[in-house]
Chains A and B, each alone.
Chain A
Amino acid sequence: MDHGTELRTRKLRRGPAVSMLLAGVALPSIALADPTYHIFETPDRPSLNFYGSPGLVDMPTAHALPDGQFTVGVSSFAGMTRSTITFQATPRLSASFRYVGLRDWNDVVPSNFDTYRDRSFDVRYLLKKEDDFWPAITVGLQDFAGTGIYAGEYVVATKSFDNTVLPGSIKVTGGLGWGRLGSHGGIGTPFGGNRGAFDAGDTGGEPSFDQWFRGEAAPFAGVEWAVNDRWTVKAEYSSDAYETEDGSREIFTRKSQFNFGTEYQYSDGLRLGAYYLYGSEIGVNLQYQLNPRKPLNPVKITPVAPLKVRPNRAASPAAWDTQWAASTNQQRSLRDQVKEVLAASDLSLVALKLDSAQAELRLRNDQYQAPAVAVGRAARALAWVLPASVETFRIVLVEGGLAQSAVTVRRSDLEALAYDPQAADALLAVAGIGEAAPRLPDALENDDLYPDFAWSIGPYVSPSYFDPEEPVRLDGGIEATAAFRPAPGWTIAGGLKHRLFGNVGDKSQESNSVLPHVRTDGPRYANEGDTFIDNAYVSKQWKAGNDLYARVSAGYLERMFGGVSAELLWKPVSSNLALGVEANYVKQRDYDGGLGFLDYSVATGHVSAYYEMGGGYHGQLDVGRYLAGDVGATVTLTREFANGWKVGGFFTITDVSADDFGEGSFDKGINLTIPIGWFLGEPDKRSVSTTIRPIQRDGGARLEVPGRLYEQVRSGHRNALEDQWSRVWE
């Protein structure tokens, strides 16, 4: 026991520094990864095991999932249910998050819960791809953070054989496991002996470097035979003794190390399996795989009329006359026509400035996830309406009153390249993407845009995950929102919710946090406010310079805090790097969701660096003071897909000790964003986002402020434009 405590204190001191170092090492290597994706590629998809990882029945295999693959696995045997999501973050690296429930936990050994529930993280790295001679080799860390019940490491090799006497294909796997995966049939301790024991009461959550690959190692092996496209048969020899479940807790009786199963590929995504495990138990496994790159419905956009081409100048000189430029009436009429053509594509004209040779159009795009579609349609709208003498089009995307960037195209280039064999690339080569001035003086504006009032009434659901009693709690009800925009950049908005059903507030345990209860009183908030103000605030955002953006907000910013917030962001149009600073002074809101406040108040804020590493990898570092007054930093790494899918992970280390933080030791979680258009197959700029934390504590908690600048600003910058530039003629 003494040893264990000592081990943990050492970990505490080392943990953050090593984590930072790891992040520092990981960044360049991720950037080097090559996420090339081939249109005709139909990569082989390995099936999943009971841990939701590529594998046999209970043991892993070595093949990686296709790049970007997202899988959900739910398996159950002997009252042990494991639900796992896995994401292939790079072609070689994958990460999993798992939630488990073990029933009958307290039958033999007394415990607080009948069902033991736990969360765990895995990572896998493909060391070597399979080739004609060598097998694929993967190293994996299972439940690597903390003294988890599933903690185990492995090195595994898999080789496929397609042309054998049997029909279909065969994969043969062999590997060596440590920890849990080395608990039966050990062959010695190649990397030393001492390995901490599983301790259900530990705060856990920290990488347990000093345990990995320590202790007894044991071999495992198996065969997978894909009989045809639908059916697969699996057999394996497991190196897991289920010491706790079979031994001390007597959840089930293990009679054999051999597991058998068969799987059926029901549809492209869904796979179902039934198994006989450890000589005594029947198990089932449901696996679902999807790839963010393959939408449920491909987005179809109704084409616009073909580009209108100007008549030859020598043949019809009258069309090239420039007299119109002197007439305010004619300019207004042109503005109205452009506005109408844009409206047919669901785009809004913000302002238009014309002279005889050039035009600057300021444009609001509320429709297309790809800014290039908006720019391409705007260019064709200008070509449709404007007199022949206007040769240069400057198209400025405006988001929330902020001019994002200016795309400059020559009209003669549009005409020459519309049906060029490489129409999009050729246009990008001659188009300019540059900075846009904050304002366009002396322009013809669109008087219909402001003041603007919008409202909506609809349903809402608000989930809460992973408390010890219930894996998922859910509140739901009716939400009413309204937003009033008196002028560009100004927003007066609010949301009112009424809870109709739910159990988020039923959680019986009071928060045991020793920090100010900035987040852990969530159940009390859910319980005491049936009708509550979700938020209500005034905000103003503006461009303070060509590369500088600013925002000031005040009011009830989120459900638990209200106050004032100010943000400044530097983001040049063509830069991969952005820097921001945000300062807030907030007071904790009353539980009932009314206008009142509690006593707790805090000054919180961060300095942030954002970096687009290329290939869809995105990093963010926030350093500052969090809601509980703790000081530290958050590292976020995200894989972004051109169509708007984002899958990311984050962790926060602050000066709060693991013991004060409580379960989990430090804050961490997963962000997931799915664009609505991916489901619907129609152009749509919106997306749904969720953050999943293994556990919500008070340390490292950040204020939620509506309308943060970075995503608004970069959605129309060079990288966002170029990512989907091929759609400019769509």
Chain B
Amino acid sequence: MKHLATGLLLIASLALTGCAGGGREAERSPLFSAGSTLFTILKARTGPEAPAKGKVTVTRALLDKTPGAVLQVVPEKTGLQDFLQRVAQRSDGTPGTVEVWQSSDQIQVILREGVLVGTKGLGGDMRSAEAQTVIAARDGQGGGGERLITLARLDGTAQTVPYACDVTHLGSETIQIVDRRLSARHFREDCAYGETTFSNDYWVEAGTGKIRRSRQWAGPQFGYMAIDLLKD
């Protein structure tokens, strides 16, 4: 029905084209801009510029040529691979270093010590989150506790959900990041709030203690994303 409604609006708008100049956007006919915006959306979806679903094979040489740190993110819903660059890194009042990673289309993924604590620009974002229970469990055998996650509803408001989480240690595994095989400890975090549950997986590199690979939940809209720290 979404398509039907969009289609109707599109037809209504395209049949009636218009133009405007100067002043504020707010003064232009809504029909007019609805038409032009929808046209752009449609073009992006169907035109030759639509992104291909192919997978880029990352090589060490390619990675060496890329300046700065690189994070690979693959949303499970689309399977589309994206490479993010680190645009900020800092410490604040909360334990753990925060990193802001940005994609080529300016979407931001925010990690605290590798734990997802926010997204920006997705629509239905994770606004903010606690990471302490995961960070604390990372070194030891497991742990858990309450973890507050604030999720955007689609109506412009947000809801802070107190998840009850358990982190369990699933043993050591060898993971491969690009051409390197790393020894890592595998942790699983099971969180529940009433009927709603999610499970995150983290692989912590032995020695550095860094989360090199993870599969984390970004909220009911976006679902899970697979995150690989390709280059730090």
Contacts and interface: CB of A to CB of B under 8 A. Distances in A.
A39 interface: yes
Contacts of B29: 456, 458-460, 479
A298 B30 contact: no
Interface in A329-385: 346, 366-367, 369-370
B100 to A, nearest CB: 5
B119 to A, nearest CB: 9
A293 B220 CA distance: 15
Contact of B196 (A40, A268, A301, A460): A40
11 contacts: A40-B194, A266-B1, A267-B2, A300-B123, A302-B121, A303-B107, A417-B92, A422-B160, A455-B21, A641-B156, A680-B34
Contacts of A293: 153-155
B23 A301 contact: no
Contact of B154 (A38, A294, A454, A479): A294
Given A303-B102, A642-B156, 14 more contacts: A39-B153, A40-B220, A370-B156, A416-B92, A418-B92, A419-B92, A420-B92, A458-B28, A459-B32, A460-B29, A676-B33, A724-B157, A727-B156, A729-B127
Contacts of A684: 25, 33
Contacts of B194: 40
Interface string A684-723: 1111100000000000000000000000000000000001
Interface stretch (B68-76, B144-152, B174-182, B183-191): B144-152
Which size bracket describes the interface of A in this complex? 35 or more
B153 A305 contact: no
B25 A459 contact: no
A421 interface: yes
A679 interface: yes
Contacts of A298: 123-124, 154, 221
B153 A424 contact: no
B21 A682 contact: no
Contacts of B127: 423-424, 726, 729
Contacts of A288: 1
Contacts of B92: 415-420
Contact of A303 (B18, B20, B106): B106
B21 A454 contact: yes
A356 B223 CA distance: 46
B26 A40 contact: no
A128 to B, nearest CB: 24
B56 interface: no
A219 to B, nearest CB: 36
B106 A302 contact: yes
A384 to B, nearest CB: 12
Given A416-B92, A416-B93, A299 B123 contact: yes
Given A420-B93, A642-B157, A459 B31 contact: yes
Contact of A454 (B27, B31, B128, B152): B27
B23 to A, nearest CB: 2
A441 interface: no
A39 B220 contact: yes
B87 A306 contact: yes
Interface string A88-101: 00000000000000
Interface in A419-451: 419-425
Contacts of B24: 366, 454
A682 B120 CA distance: 14
A423 B126 CA distance: 11
Nearest to A40: B196
Interface string B1-25: 1101110010000001111111111
Contacts of B170: none
Nearest to B195: A40
Given A37-B153, A416-B92, A424-B158, A458 B34 contact: no
A309 B24 CA distance: 33
Interface string A38-65: 1110000000000000000000000000
B18 to A, nearest CB: 3
A300 B122 contact: yes
